[in-house]
């Protein structure tokens, strides 16, 4: 039995290296069923993290610790799961256990210090927080967008009468292929208009698809702009006769998250009843700080726009029901 379990684990490790995480999970599960061990649970935990099934990852890491309280990787995996869930105090406690057990582990020290900074920052913000009726970014910008000057040197796409058009989006995508930045005036306008629309939408959106029509559902884009362009090349551009649903995780990790989200939001404004977007676990302030989107927005624009993105994300629907039969939502949330 021990050899059978080890064989299953080794096969799972190979699948993991090939990034075939579904196969790896199945094989780790087989090893656990044959002979449960802390190692197998910890390995399946990191695999679940890679697929962003954070709840399962947390459960497996905790099970690894239960089976062997001295197994350091169990604490490391559980800390990573807690971080992904935004439970920084719990993560810090586990990272501290890892650092104490392995004082020379550089990666553990880096993760511990990062987590410690977040915990201190949150504690400080809580201590000084005062409900002073502060306006949201969108409220602050209300009525002031016209005062933002578009420089004569700007040669990029422009909204037509303040509206998104098909020509605007086509120009925007070509502009982004040249790795140029949309003017902040239009960036602000798109986000404010998207927020206004989303505030009127339900959490669960019902979508009706005619029997003779196709409907494209896309998973995580994660800032891969050229992958997004390839999707449109293969499946056609969004339109009233070619509807799409992008099911969350538009940003983070990739280097072109800003470009991806503005193309998607532009299509949402152009075809509100034929282009759908759901909120994923990466459409949140904490995840954006950890996985790169927050820094990207600040580098390409400013902190105010990063805050406005968070306001917009808070209004995104969480799920869609297709023809009263198929529920589409983010399992990683």
Domain layout of the chain by residue ranges: 2-128, 137-329
* Helices 257-270/184-198 angle, 10° precision: 50
Cα gap 14→36, rounded to integer Å: 20
Q: What's the pLDDT score for residue 288?
A: 84
**137-329 carries CATH number 3.60.21.10:** yes
CATH for 2-128 is 1.25.40.10
Q: What's the pLDDT score for residue 136?
A: 81
- Dump pLDDT digits (tens) for 64-102: 999 999 999 999 999 999 988 888 999 999 999 999 999
- Dump pLDDT digits (tens) for 152-192: 899 999 999 989 999 999 999 999 999 999 999 999 999 99
Q: What's the pLDDT score for residue 130?
A: 60
Q: By the 8 A CB rule, do 244 and 216 touch?
A: yes
Are 2-128 and 137-329 equal in CATH topology?
A: no
Nearest to 216 by CA among 200, 202, 198, 234: 234
- Give the angle 142-284-271 at the CA atoms, nearest 5°: 60
pTM exceeding 0.95: no
Mean pLDDT of 226-231: 96
- Dump pLDDT digits (tens) for 103-141: 999 988 998 998 999 888 888 877 776 655 667 888 888
- Whether 282 is catalytic: yes
Least confident range of 168-172, 229-233, 301-305: 301-305
Q: What's the pLDDT score for residue 148?
A: 86
Q: What's the pLDDT score for residue 281?
A: 85
Choose, from 183, 222, 274, 282, the residue flagged as catalytic.
282
Mean pLDDT of 202-228: 93
Which pLDDT band holds residue 333 (cuts at 50, 70, 90)? very low
Mean pLDDT of 11-39: 95
Mean pLDDT of 229-242: 95
Cα gap 316→281, rounded to integer Å: 11
Least confident range of 139-148, 187-196, 287-296: 139-148
Q: What's the pLDDT score for residue 291?
A: 81
Cα gap 313→194, rounded to integer Å: 10
Mean pLDDT, rounded, of the chain: 91
């Amino acid at each position: 039995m021990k050899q059978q379990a080890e064989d299953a684990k080794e096969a799972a490790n190979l699948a993991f290296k090939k990034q075939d995480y579904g196969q790896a999970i199945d094989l780790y599960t087989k090893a656990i069923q044959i002979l449960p061990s802390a190692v197998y649970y910890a390995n399946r935990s990191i695999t679940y993290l890679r697929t962003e099934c954070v709840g399962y990852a947390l459960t497996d890491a905790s099970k690894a610790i239960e089976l062997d309280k001295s197994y350091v990787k169990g604490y490391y995996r559980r800390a990573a799961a807690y971080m992904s869930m935004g439970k920084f105090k719990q993560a810090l406690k586990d990272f501290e256990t890892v650092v104490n057990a392995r004082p020379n582990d550089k990666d553990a020290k880096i993760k511990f210090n990062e987590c410690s900074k977040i915990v201190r920052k949150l504690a400080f913000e809580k201590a000084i927080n005062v409900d002073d009726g502060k306006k949201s970014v969108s409220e602050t910008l209300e009525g002031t967008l016209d005062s933002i000057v578009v420089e004569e040197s700007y040669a990029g796409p422009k909204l037509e009468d303040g509206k998104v058009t098909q020509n605007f989006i086509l120009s925007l995508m070509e502009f982004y292929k040249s790795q140029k930045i949309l003017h902040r005036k239009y960036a602000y306008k798109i986000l404010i208009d998207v927020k206004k629309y989303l505030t009127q939408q339900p959490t669960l959106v019902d979508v009706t698809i005619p029997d003779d029509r196709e409907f494209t559902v896309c998973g995580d884009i994660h800032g891969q702009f050229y992958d997004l362009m390839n999707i449109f090349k293969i499946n056609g551009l969004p339109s009233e006769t070619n509807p799409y649903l992008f099911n969350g995780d538009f940003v983070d990790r990739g280097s072109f998250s800003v470009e991806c989200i503005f193309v998607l939001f532009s299509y949402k404004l152009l075809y509100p009843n034929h282009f759908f977007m759901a909120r994923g676990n990466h459409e949140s302030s904490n995840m954006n700080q950890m996985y790169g989107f927050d820094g990207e927005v600040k580098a390409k624009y400013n902190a105010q726009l990063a805050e406005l993105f968070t306001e917009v994300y808070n209004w995104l629907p969480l799920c869609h029901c297709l023809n009263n039969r198929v529920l589409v939502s983010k399992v990683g949330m």
